[in-house]
Structure 1
Amino acid sequence: MIGTSKLFRGIISGERRRSHSDVADRATRIAGGLARLGVREGDSVCILMRNEIAFVEVTHGIMQLGAYAVPVNWHFKRQEIEYIVADSGAQVLIGHTDLLHQLGHDAPYNLILGVATPPELVRAYKIDPALLAMPRFARDFENWITDQPSCAALPAAQPTTMIYTSGTTGRPKGVRRIPPVGEQAVGLEHVRTIIYGLGARALVPGPLYHSAPNFFGIWFSRRDGAMVLMPRFEPEELLRLIEAEKIDTILMVPTMFVRLMQLPQSVRTNYDISSLRHVIHGAAPCPPEVKRAMIEWWGPIINEFYGSTEAGAVTFASSLDWLAKPGTVGRPLPHVELRVIGVHGQVLPAGEIGEIYSRNAYYPGFTYHNRPETLVEINQDGFIASGDLGFVDAHGYLFLCDRMNNVVISGGVNIYPAEIEAALHMLQGVHDCAVFGVPDAEFGEALMAVVEPQPGVMLDVLDMREKLKTVLADYKVPRQIEIRTSLPREDSGKIFKRRLRDPYWEELGRKI
């Protein structure tokens, strides 16, 4: 194995490599240029970019000013992008040229800086060459940087990012974080080393506009090692990069595990992944059989965290924790307190299901930008509501049941779709699934499952129902099972259940 001291240190994207010193110099030029444009501490700058080196440089430049870097989901259409820009108050938008063309001349920004879409992204997304030209309403980012002096003496400022929540339950909300200081900053750094590990060579396969990959990637980019950005996740390419770049740390989501497990055995064994030391996952529930298979393949290096954009990471589970307590998302991290709250606001004892609240002394406070009343609604004596249902066992391990807004009430009985989804994942040939409630005249709601089969597999609905009856009570077996070739997803791996569920309720003019 090549010694890590001989390997490149800096940021890698496709065939391009940029040293830490070059990244730092460009970030300082960006900061100086933005300051000359009038961006000040506390202002916002939007980033509409896919994964690549410039995303990191721009983020660091914005943070050097004490301004808020606002990553925008690049899948968004014009109206959605303009909503984020308007809500954040940003007057500057920095984006890849192919993503900017949809905005047009009348976009409500003082300045748009166009970043040439790099070759690795053009290949990965098969981008139309016509979209690579610089839009006439945008200023060329590289020319702009060249015009900026290297500003080594910027005023001291705390780095900050404003992440907009995914919007799976409504319009996105900007989570405006208060920068950590003093003991809190030291404690937060300690917690991050628990979650992210002490590795020197990280791989980022998830989108940097999403909170977890963003925090991980920006944090790791400050370390004296290497960070490899994947233009988009491809399972075999991930294995190739682990071997080629001697990757020791990766942040993933369960969907990536599923796709890795679908690779032929000959492909899986064709790559040397012995450099891996720390794999962390979160963002969505991981089917138990998938996680167990990943631990058997990669070893006891698969770790899990649970948290949210608002509360940060609140629990952590090592492979050994999970094997001892299958299904757990771990125990509270240092200086985190958990409460499970019942429907009447009472704190529930161990083993009883309720909404999970957390208080994190090391994670800085936040507000919802332009929505202070929303924070009041989810705050109970400093404990932040998660919107998740779960329970804590007698040994302090947290188990999740489902999202509160996913619970189906059928005939007065609470049914947790996550339990049914876990059972469906156990069926041979099932790639992924979503379970939700649809209107029912007799019971109020009835269970429906939408299932995505593995490639080339034909699923039999009647056979699936019979197999589910062997592991689930009859009332938990979906009345309807629909087979679809694909499910609507975010890049984070989360399924857009609302896109599946809402049409059934909209027919009745209702939401529930």
Structure 2
Amino acid sequence: MQAGLSATASTSAPTFGKIIHRHAAESGDAIALRYLDRITTYAELDAISNRIANALLAHARPGDRIAYLGKNSDMAVALVIGVAKAGMVLVPIIWRLARGEVDYILEDSTAQILFLDPDLTPVAKALTVLPERVVQIEGELTEPSWTTFERFIAEAAPARPSIEVCADDALLQIYTSGTTGRPKGAVLSHANATRYRQVIDAAGLDWLQSAPGETALLAMPFGHIAGAGQALLILHARGEMIIHREFDPGALMDAIEVHRLRRLFLVPAALQLLLAHPRAGSADFSSLRYFSYGASPIPVPLLEAGMARLGCQFIQVYGMTETWGGVVALPPEDHDPTRRHLLAAAGKAMPGVELRIRGSEGELLGPGQTGEVEVRSPSNLLGYWRQEEATRAALSEDGWLRTGDAGMLDDEGYLFLKDRIKDMIITGAENVYPAEVESAIYGHPDVADVAVIGVPDAKWGEAVKAIVVPALGATPDPTAIIAWARERIAAYKCPKSVDFIAELPRNPSGKILRRELREPFWAGYERRVN
């Protein structure tokens, strides 16, 4: 365990409204946003977000929820700052969600206003739950009852809003991925990011935080913590943000070469797409100094391929929506070929973060023992929106957050994650974690992608099954894949069978939807653990 600040630390912290105002006063001409052919300075961002805030206050009250359905854009970034200045809470909705999922979030969040990307108007028109006021952020109106962004802010003053916003006030309400059941609205405050930034700055970790004026890329979906949350962190550091509407490996390589990016964050699925792009072999990655990855498990062979091609320092980051992203990191010096076992580690607790492992009976576990990972940090969420029972189940009174992840700490304090506790397979009384098996299979030359699930088995309760996406042009042999895995992990962890599929189902953050893969095998069973 690493001692540090608790989630209830009293360290003072600024709000994002004050941060942007300070940047505008000190570096008003500095570029804040680059989107398509538009450039926004910090002075312009401060002014437009003031107008957004004042317009919001004319139609809603501090504390109200304001929804955004759309892809990444400069207007989306300005909106989150305007919402912050108005003392309201932004509910960014992942644009890839199905209509029913969007309806659920709008209804559950009680959003008073919906800001809409024009590309998503067909989705919005099909919704059964819509706030009374819908604001289309760009383009000509496609629905007469809606209003344009220009009309919405037309009479709003560019002066700073007169209301007082506190750092501990809620700012973001991000709905968790919902790999099982309905998603919950994780509520995060200004201080969850700004207070923690102070702790990281004090530690002087250059590889963890960008420097003022540094160029950064926003390509992850805005409805994810790696989207809206990352955008706010870039602005906190007074970075120059290049905004891509969505992840595109070709456009990303262009941005790296043209803007000479020093650091980049991608989820493992995006890294895989980048390395598979036809240009990846010839692209100029020489400006990259740091590459961060996280949000889902990464197979070690994919990690090694990325390190070899990008040629920069790699950082593993482990965290979740409920912790505003990373709270554990594997720093560059631990991406060491001579200590290859560490490449499978999530890393060590970041400054100001505490970790512990609890068993199924609530007992604290020691090094080498696997149980549920618990985290205490300044970035832990305030709670789940309108779900007091779920909040009490996840957050202890003294600030410990139950992550739902299974893991263990070794003697040196490195955290090794096994998988989501709910995804664990129990076969013959042995615990098997799918991510470990997937990592063992991934390096097989005939395997492009893989997911591992538990299926009913009359003898063992559950049996391990691999669902494989074949490599281009390959015709994999199931027996050979099982034998490959057996050389790398214990026999009881190896798949008993292998099925093939064209593409794995994933949620917008890149996590495999094992629930969808399991469903056909468990149909008719009352329990999903045999």
In the superposition, the TM-score normalised over structure 2's length comes to: 0.86
Please report how far the alpha carbon of residue 211 of structure 1 lies from its aligned counterpart in structure 2 after TM superposition.
0.9
Q: How does 1:127-138 map to 2 (within 5 A)?
A: 134-138=142-146
The unaligned stretches of length 5 or more in structure 1 are 118-131
Corresponding residue of 1:163: 174
Q: How does 1:75-86 map to 2 (within 5 A)?
A: 75-86=96-107
Please report how far the alpha carbon of residue 326 of structure 1 lies from its aligned counterpart in structure 2 after TM superposition.
2.3
**Corresponding residue to 1:326 among 320, 331, 343:** 343
**8 Å contact kept, 1:220–1:227:** yes
The alignment yields a C-alpha RMSD, in angstroms, of 2.5
The alignment status of 1:366 with 2:377, answered yes or no, reads no
Residue 207 of structure 1 aligns to a residue in which SS? coil
CA deviations 1:60-103 (Å, max 9, x no partner) are 11111111011011122332212111211211110112313333
**8 Å contact kept, 1:216–1:251:** no
**Corresponding residue to 2:392 among 376, 380, 389:** 376
Cα distance in 2 for partners of 1:379, 1:68 equals 21
**8 Å contact kept, 2:317–2:328:** yes
Cα distance in 2 for partners of 1:8, 1:155 equals 27
Please report how far the alpha carbon of residue 19 of structure 1 lies from its aligned counterpart in structure 2 after TM superposition.
2.6
**8 Å contact kept, 1:358–1:385:** yes
* Greater CA drift, 394-403 or 303-312: 303-312
* Greater CA drift, 350-359 or 381-390: 381-390
Please report how far the alpha carbon of residue 330 of structure 1 lies from its aligned counterpart in structure 2 after TM superposition.
1.1
Residue 281 of structure 1 aligns to a residue in which SS? strand
Corresponding residue of 1:506: 523
CA distance 1:484–1:183, shift in 2 (3 Å): closer
Residue 462 of structure 2 aligns to a residue in which SS? strand
CA distance 1:466–1:194, shift in 2 (3 Å): closer
Letter in 1 for 2:51: R
Please report how far the alpha carbon of residue 316 of structure 1 lies from its aligned counterpart in structure 2 after TM superposition.
1.2
**8 Å contact kept, 1:116–1:134:** no
Cα distance in 2 for partners of 1:150, 1:229 equals 24
Q: Size of the alignment, in residue pairs?
A: 489
Corresponding residue of 1:317: 330
Letter in 2 for 1:69: L
* Greater CA drift, 104-113 or 401-410: 104-113
Please report how far the alpha carbon of residue 365 of structure 1 lies from its aligned counterpart in structure 2 after TM superposition.
4.6
**Corresponding residue to 1:261 among 269, 275, 293:** 275
CA deviations 1:220-259 (Å, max 9, x no partner) are 1344441111222222321111111222222211112212
Residue 223 of structure 2 aligns to a residue in which SS? coil
Larger RCO (CA under 8 A, 6+ residues apart): 2
Cα distance in 2 for partners of 1:102, 1:44 equals 20
Residue 124 of structure 2 aligns to a residue in which SS? coil
CA deviations 1:10-39 (Å, max 9, x no partner) are 3122333333322222211111111111x2
CA deviations 1:199-221 (Å, max 9, x no partner) are 60001221111012321112213
Residue 270 of structure 1 aligns to a residue in which SS? coil
Residue 149 of structure 1 aligns to a residue in which SS? coil
Corresponding residue of 1:433: 450
* Greater CA drift, 62-71 or 449-458: 449-458
Residue 221 of structure 1 aligns to a residue in which SS? helix
Residue 307 of structure 1 aligns to a residue in which SS? strand
Please report how far the alpha carbon of residue 8 of structure 1 lies from its aligned counterpart in structure 2 after TM superposition.
7.9
CA distance 1:55–1:82, shift in 2 (3 Å): same
Please report how far the alpha carbon of residue 171 of structure 1 lies from its aligned counterpart in structure 2 after TM superposition.
0.7
Residue 150 of structure 1 aligns to a residue in which SS? coil
The alignment status of 1:352 with 2:340, answered yes or no, reads no
Please report how far the alpha carbon of residue 387 of structure 1 lies from its aligned counterpart in structure 2 after TM superposition.
0.9
* Greater CA drift, 28-37 or 440-449: 440-449
Cα distance in 2 for partners of 1:481, 1:198 equals 47
Please report how far the alpha carbon of residue 419 of structure 1 lies from its aligned counterpart in structure 2 after TM superposition.
1.6
Letter in 2 for 1:280: S
The alignment status of 1:250 with 2:261, answered yes or no, reads no
Cα distance in 2 for partners of 1:386, 1:373 equals 16
The unaligned stretches of length 5 or more in structure 2 are 1-26
* Greater CA drift, 199-208 or 184-193: 184-193
Residue 366 of structure 2 aligns to a residue in which SS? coil
Cα distance in 1 for partners of 2:217, 2:144 equals 35
Please report how far the alpha carbon of residue 270 of structure 1 lies from its aligned counterpart in structure 2 after TM superposition.
3.3
In the superposition, the TM-score normalised over structure 1's length comes to: 0.89
* Greater CA drift, 242-251 or 218-227: 218-227
CA deviations 1:292-324 (Å, max 9, x no partner) are 222223334211111112234321111221324
* Greater CA drift, 205-214 or 182-191: 182-191
The alignment status of 1:10 with 2:32, answered yes or no, reads yes
Corresponding residue of 2:7: none
**8 Å contact kept, 2:186–2:381:** no
The alignment status of 1:478 with 2:492, answered yes or no, reads no
